[in-house]
Structure 1
């Protein structure tokens, strides 16, 4: 089948915007040309790809299948174009980073601030992912690298580089002030509501495993999508939560939450960088990766 590849590009934008006119605008083309190209593509593929309505278009089942493949190809084309345009140096590069929210908040933001001050022309594309999603984005080539929290498992050609350890603490809202100053055992938490990230996150899996090792069952009553949602819920007395000390510290200092001591030691966790050893990076991504890994370089940049 000898289909004009330009048709696939037009198909991608029509499917993305669900509108022929918007697709034509994005492509710097005319709406009649876009419509004609899609009619030709449907004719050459011998199937209907769109259902036309007064409000726009939506994909048929056949169109959905094609879009999955074409969108993946378009992302690769766009990444290739960016890599080629960025290879001239650090003045106009683009870096695509997948980051878990905890890693972003307690580690990556400080480093990005320093990097951006030094190289303001470099564009940063930050995707907020769970750790498994961020690693998948590196594997697929959508991200240059990922900055995530343990526990993680990576397989070649992906490589894991430890960056910084961090410690979680248990916190509660004002309603749980009776726990302040006491040494509680993990089993004592059975009667208290717990707040945690969702089951698809490494944080959930970390605590599920730690509780299991301690002979307890981890059953949080409230699961949230992002770590930024945890602290407001704790402040509102909706439950207790494990949170990195660095994220909880301002609220502790302001006495908006209390710290709860446990007899069992919460294992330290780690922030890691994950990259594909077989995929070359542009100059900007290589420079940021070096800054993240090399603490001495970071200190020099801060100074």
Structure 2
């Protein structure tokens, strides 16, 4: 750019008013300051922009060409400034979240409701898929935040744990359970597990591998909800996330089986790009999570033994 942006602003006002004095009145500066600015702009561009006369000023052909371009450019800048101001004041914008169905319905839903109440003009967009697809959306700029099962590592991302979770085995209400189970005894049951491409399943397989056991489930499915439903009708013993199974456990539809050595605690994490700042909407949503110091307030009461 050959001239300062302020010079172009003054040029546009002078061109629209066809008067340096009226332009000076709008800008609350002296007429001589306007005249000097226009002269400096003409010198920078090496082009005469105005014809001066006793009755005022009018644009040359070069000035008219520049005026049309600068007027449109300044209009776009002003529009961008207004939209940015509205974005920062949460009067417009969007929040793009990627999360699986279970995390959305059993963890994020209350936060989404609270966010919508607090920022009703922000459009919430959800994408539901596997972790790998959600991470791809983050890296392509198609999502602001991705909520995934941990552990997960990627140098391009910041990954924050939002909620600790516990994997447990559950059976139907009529299942005759032992007082406790060893890993080998659990593995011998008719198991219902998530598919192998899930983070949860990999964590469970790793736990049993440390006990030199390769799990052979009777049923493999993709949905956490079905794990609970299949166990409740006695199709087998399911491995579920305790925090996401509280209603079913409290109602007695399913019952937890006690393990001699409980599965390791995992977590639900929020992932976002390390190289780009969070949008105001995404930062506000994370602030809601951070403000909820007692995560149990978002999940029905359950004593985690």
Q: Does the alignment reach a TM-score above 0.5?
A: yes
Q: CA RMSD in A?
A: 2.7
Is 1:259 the counterpart of 2:256 in the alignment? yes
Task: Could you list the structure 1 runs, at least 4 aligned residues long, displaced by more than 6 angstroms after superposition.
Answer: 83-86
The alpha-carbon deviation at position 85 of structure 1 amounts to: 10
Is 1:202 the counterpart of 2:199 in the alignment? yes
- The range that moved more, 262-271 or 85-94, is 85-94
Is 1:110 the counterpart of 2:107 in the alignment? no
**How many residues are aligned here?**
216
Give the TM-score taking structure 1 as reference length.
0.65
Structure 1: give runs of 5+ residues left out of the alignment: 1-82
CA offsets 1:184-243 (integer angstroms, 9 cap, x no match): 111012332111221211011111111101221122221112212211111121111111
Within 5 A, what are the aligned runs for 1:231-242? 231-242=228-239
**Counterparts of 1:163 and 1:149, CA distance in 2:** 10
- Bigger Rg over Cα: 2
Residue 178 of structure 1 corresponds to which residue in structure 2? 176
Is 1:286 the counterpart of 2:283 in the alignment? yes
Within 5 A, what are the aligned runs for 1:144-155? 144-155=144-155
Give the TM-score taking structure 2 as reference length.
0.64
- Aligned residue for 2:213, secondary structure, equals coil
Q: In structure 2, do the counterparts of structure 1 residues 295 and 253 end up closer, same or farther at CA, with 3 Å as the change threshold?
A: closer
User: 1:207–1:218: 8 Å Cα contact kept in structure 2?
Assistant: no
The alpha-carbon deviation at position 86 of structure 1 amounts to: 7.1
Residue 162 of structure 2 corresponds to which residue in structure 1? 163
The alpha-carbon deviation at position 88 of structure 1 amounts to: 5.2
The alpha-carbon deviation at position 298 of structure 1 amounts to: 9.1
Q: In structure 2, do the counterparts of structure 1 residues 293 and 131 end up closer, same or farther at CA, with 3 Å as the change threshold?
A: farther
Structure 2: give runs of 5+ residues left out of the alignment: 1-82, 297-305
User: 2:171–2:254: 8 Å Cα contact kept in structure 1?
Assistant: yes
CA offsets 1:160-187 (integer angstroms, 9 cap, x no match): 1121212122101135x211x5111110
